[in-house]
Amino acid sequence: MTHFGEQVVDAAMAWVGTPFHAQASVRGVGCDCKGLIAGVARDLNRVEAESWAAQLADYDIGRVPVGQLRLGLQELFDAVEGEAQAGDILLLRIGARLQHLAIHAGQGPQGPEMIHCWSRGVMQVIRCPIGQYWQVESAWRWRAA
């Protein structure tokens, strides 16, 4: 794990327990998967925070504009060749659709873990194993500041 990757995971862990709230990004109050990443970027004083929030400000839950999502990732992060590392942004496929974002949290007792905000079930930011349900389509690394 890189030093910056550790900082990303630590910042994301501070969001654990934040309730799900569509299109929000306020730690302890509410966020969605995109808002978690924008909030972590903001907590780390990264320029990605405002760009990311602005690019995806009007997306609709369940209808994420994949082209816009990919464009935002390409403009703000570097595509990961090989294995994702702690702190990387994960683009996840749920069923047939690319529609979810998470932060790679490193290795846990059951394998790789992620931190994400899920609109179903617990409806809050959690850290959990990536597991078979979550299909990682691609990983994206923060650029040097």
What is the pLDDT, as a whole number, of residue 54?
Answer: 53
Summarised one tens digit per residue, pLDDT across range 35-93 is 999 999 999 999 777 775 555 555 555 565 677 778 778 888 999 999 999 999 999 98
**For residues 94-104, average pLDDT:** 87
What is the overall mean pLDDT for the chain?
Answer: 87
Claim: this prediction has a pTM higher than 0.75? yes
pLDDT at 30: 96
Distance of CA 145 to the CA centre of its chain: 18
**More confidently predicted of 20 and 52:** 20
- Please answer whether residues 62 and 33 qualify as being in contact, where contact means their C-beta atoms are separated by less than 8 angstroms: no
- CB 88, CB 141: distance < 8 Å: yes
Cβ neighbors of 70 (< 8 A, separation 6 or more) are 91
The mean per-residue pLDDT over the stretch 115-144 comes to 91
Buried b (16+ CB within 10 A) or exposed e, 53-66: bebbeebeeeebee
Cβ contacts of residue 42 below 8 Å, gap of 6+?
25, 49, 50
Residue 116 above 90 pLDDT? Answer: yes
Chain-centre distance of CA 19, in angstroms? 15
Comparison of pLDDT for 102 and 64, the residue scoring more: 102
What is the domain partition of the chain in residue ranges?
Answer: 3-142
Burial class (CB in 10 A: 0-12, 13-18, 19+), 140: buried
Q: For position 57, what pLDDT does the model report?
A: 54
Q: Is the pLDDT of residue 136 over 60?
A: yes
CA angle 120, 43, 55 (to 5 degrees): 65
What is the CATH code for 3-142? Answer: 3.90.1720.10
Please tell me the distance from the alpha carbon of residue 83 to that of residue 90, in angstroms, as a whole number. 11
Name the most confidently modeled range: 4-8, 32-36, 74-78. Answer: 4-8
Identify the residue with better confidence: 66 or 139: 139
